[in-house]
Structure 1
Amino acid sequence: MKTNLLQLSLFLLLACFFHAQVGINTVLPGSTLTVNGSIAGQYKISSTSATLGIGDFYMAFNGSTAGTFTLPAATVAAPAQGNILGRVYYIKNTGSAQLTVAASGAELIDNQTGSGVTSFKLNPAGYAMIISKGTVSGTTWELATFIDKTTATIAALGATDTVTYTGAAFTAFNNSIPQIIPFSVGDVIVNQGGSVTWNDAGDYWQILESGVYKIEGYSYFGSGGAPSGAFQWTGINLNITKNGTAIANIIGGNRGNFMDIIAQTANTPINVNCIVHLNAGDRVYLTMNWGAGDKPTTNAQITAPNSLIESRNFSLQQLSIP
């Protein structure tokens, strides 16, 4: 075994010296290096952000929160000062969150669609192969292969159960503080495309990819107890809010004005929709609050009328990126 390794090492050394062709498991190599057999490269999995180095080759990202893989600088100090021309990285997003692949410092990535970019995104199931161009500034990397989501992002929830605001939530409701309309994981009708995910603990859509989104919401409203006041009608706001439930966070809204007698004895629908640019990391809620006129005195309810099933729904559609 040692003799074979020694002979192989000597053969490779002589071949390199004479600029000959090298063959492994073949005596007739057809290229500078011909391997008649399998080839193995380094395989790593990371659930967090990382800077790729000389020991990396195939990198899989399996994180549940967004992360970044940073490419190495084009010029390295060891083993000898110089660029990393031809170095290749294969990157796959096997996780459930979005991965950013970023160049080092002021370097750029040639993504074949114009001037170089500082980074690109890989959604869950996305894959990329990138190669060093041998330059030390400007576009130092080339995005040779890029496979990302192949379907448009459409995500929707629909629920049938009753929601009742009482206690502190009801007080806040009557003080015009938007209250989150809850859904559950089981309410998800469709979630395709990989640009958003539903956060069940927080009752919001988590945006994974920046872009323009069309957002729609629908909910019934019913008043618990005789509304207090002299207007004889109640104004209820249905809102789409971002990154919190303050009024200042409302990005789309609509008001439904109901006669008091109708609010007490029936449930009436309100619709809301908007088209808005969202950034990766944004959270989007469907909320409801008192807006004008008389106020309910006991509680506020979301429930479908007799003979109907769905009490509320909430959907997003990605129209463009970034």
Structure 2
Amino acid sequence: MKKYISILLFGGLTLNAQVGINTTTPNSTLAINGSLRAGYKEVTATSYTITDTDHYITYNGTGNTTFTLPVIGSGTSSYTGRIYKIKNISTSNLTIQPSSGNTLRIDNTPVSSFVVPVGAYAEVVNNSNTTGGTWDLSFTVLPKPSNVEIYGAQLSIPPHGNGSPGVADWTNHSNTSYDTGTGTDRWWVVSKSSVNYAHTSTYSNTSRMTVVYEYQGTPFNVTNMYPILTAGNNSSFPDVFTASFVSLTNSGTGGRTRLTVSVSRVDFIGANGTNNSNWTGTFLLNLLLARKY
């Protein structure tokens, strides 16, 4: 039976039926109950013309390269539905370009080429079988940055010590009400120190506060680590803040990571009747730690 099917397939006859491999009940035009093998090639040249027998191609050369897609034609050069899988495992860029007269599309607008960066992957599919036809960039995967670690968390900005009513400043984690996170992925507010506003005819100082946070998980490797801070407000108050980085050290309890931040209110300074710029609500500190290595 296997020989009989092979004769029909390679004899160029049309089969108006569903064909199964390792299954007697195919549910598609071709149903394979098992693994599938396709062509694989690793290229190191600085230029390569993709052939009609290629399928999965990796580039592992030492310089930038250009892969040129086959010329789309008719008959045996009709490539409708053909898929090429291309992976860049080198340390250089890989450029995919169509042959002269053909086009490459990312969206509705054709482009002259597409760069697959280091560690990235792309799939290209042909959607036409005539000269001047089009290759579509159907799928891309960009790599995770290989030299960057990123951590994110949302911490609390406690109320000011001189608000009306205020929350008294503290040290040594004597107030646990403003800790955030769970388990070891938890941040303590170890201390806060509030500074009152000053508003005169010659100068104005904002209401501000220095906050020390301590991470309760495994200490971060703070070498080449850069904190990115933004202050948020999901309350009904109109307050607007800025957050400035002061320090990031592994000097906390048992060598834990401590982050010191200075927070200032900037939407107004001073007093307006019974209201003043020493905030009374709890606000948000969005923290992103990025380490380059």
More helix by proportion, 1 or 2?
Answer: 1
Q: What TM-score comes out, normalization by structure 2 length?
A: 0.46
What is the TM-score normalised by the length of structure 1?
0.42
Query: Could you say which structure has the larger radius of gyration?
Result: 2
Between the two structures, name the one with larger relative contact order (CA 8 Å, sep ≥ 6): 1
